[in-house]
Structure formats: structure tokens, C-alpha cells
Amino acid sequence: MTRDVQSIEPGGPGVEIRPMRESDAAQVLAIYQAGLDTGQASFETTAPSWAGFTAGKPPHLRHVAADPGTGLVLGWVAAAPVSSRCVYAGVVEHSVYVHPGCQAHGIGRALLSTLIKASEDAGVWTIQSGVFPENAASLALHRALGFRVVGTRERLGRHRGVWRDVLLIERRSDVIGEDTP
């Protein structure tokens, strides 16, 4: 049974960060769609199928934040390699989405911190993403965890009839780097 994303409320203290499961599909996609509906998260307007969502995203780079009392998914983070070329083996592009009723409670920070650790454990040296300049909350979260803006892609695409800029952000690992084979 899928619950309306607007009706989810955390029920217990704390949040469990764990690997994303297939059983999380409906909740993950509902949170994704809620983010897309804001018009500030992506050029996409409709969440993909579960198969489309998971395609190319390795399981060790997909996590959810769940309420330990109810098991409800409160947010998710996932990353995918940017290229199959070996020179880019340590570069991934990520997304992080938090249920609209659970934002500003540290869930995004916990998810992104988990992704950073998991990616470094996997030999990733760069995590990147594109963020609309108007998405101040996402930019603040990313800056707090060591991401920086490396460029602006002006008028990259049209979204809901409006040309949008995208800030390219990245985080370079302090652990995986020049001396890593």
C-alpha cells in the first residue's frame, strides 16, 4: 500500500540510514516526485519507473533515511558513475531528496554524509551534481559538507517553459586522491 507523501510524519526518535531496498520503491519514488513537483529539483517532471530509477546506480551507492518506529522512508540519496571510461572510474553524480515534511531536520545531511563515506570506501574521488541556483537549501547543505560550485551552465535547458541555469557542484575526497591507485 502506497501512502501519500504528504501524510508521512516521523514517529520515533532518530533516523536510521540504511541501504535502499526494492521494498522502498513506492516511497522513494513518491519522495522523488514530490521534489520534482516543486520545480526546483530537476529538469525532470515525472519520476521514472523503479527499473529506470535503479538503472546504473550501484546498490552500495543507494541509501534511505527511515523512521525506525514506522519504517517509513523520509529521504534518499543515490549516485551513478558519470562514465564507463576507466579514467572516470572515481567520479559519480548524485541526487538527494528529503520528504517535504521532514526537511531541515538533518536528514539530508545524514544521507549525504553516508554517501560520501560509501563512495570513498568504493574508491570514488569526486561526487558531482547539478543544482538550480534557486535551490538555496540544497546548495547550503552541499556547501556544509565540502561541495563547491565549479561552474555555471547558463541556460542549460528549458524547464516548464523557462530557460534555467544549473550550477555544477563537486566534492573532491580528502581520502581518495593522487596517491590512490
Alpha-carbon distance 148 to 142, whole Å?
A: 8
Provide mean pLDDT across the span 145-158.
96
> Residue 13: its pLDDT value, please?
59
Could you give the angle at the alpha carbon of 19 between the alpha carbons of 55 and 54, nearest 5°?
10
Provide mean pLDDT across the span 2-10.
44
- Written in H, E and C, the secondary structure of the chain is CCCCHHHCCCCCCCCEEEECCHHHHHHHHHHHHHHHHCCCCCCCCCCCCHHHHHCCCCHHHEEEEECCCCCCEEEEEEEEECCCCHHHCCEEEEEEEECHHHCCCCHHHHHHHHHHHHHHHCCCCEEEEEECCCCHHHHHHHHHCCCEEEEEEEEEEEECCEEEEEEEEEEECCCCCCCCC
Q: Is residue 180 part of a domain?
A: no
Closest CA to 145 of 117, 165, 176, 105: 117
Q: Is residue 32 part of a domain?
A: yes
Total structural domains in the chain?
1
Report whether pLDDT(146) > 90.
yes
More confident residue, 66 or 178: 66
> Residue 25: its pLDDT value, please?
97
User: For 55-70, what is each residue's pLDDT tens digit?
Assistant: 999 999 999 999 988 9
Q: Is residue 179 part of a domain?
A: no
Q: Is residue 164 part of a domain?
A: yes
> Residue 124: its pLDDT value, please?
95
CATH of the domain at 43: 3.40.630.30
Amino acid residing at 55: A
Report whether pLDDT(17) > 60.
yes
Domain span holding position 10: 5-172
- Report the chain's terminal Cα–Cα distance, integer Å: 47
> 132 and 166 in contact (C-beta within 8 Å)?
yes
Q: Is residue 181 part of a domain?
A: no
Q: Is residue 86 part of a domain?
A: yes
Q: Is residue 178 part of a domain?
A: no
Q: Is residue 76 part of a domain?
A: yes
> Residue 179: its pLDDT value, please?
61
Strand 73-81 to 126-131 pairing:
unpaired
Query: Torsions phi, psi of 154, nearest 5?
Result: -75, 135
Categorize the per-residue pLDDT at 3 as very low, low, confident or very high, splitting at 50, 70 and 90. Answer: very low
Report whether pLDDT(178) > 70.
no
Alpha-carbon distance 51 to 17, whole Å?
A: 22
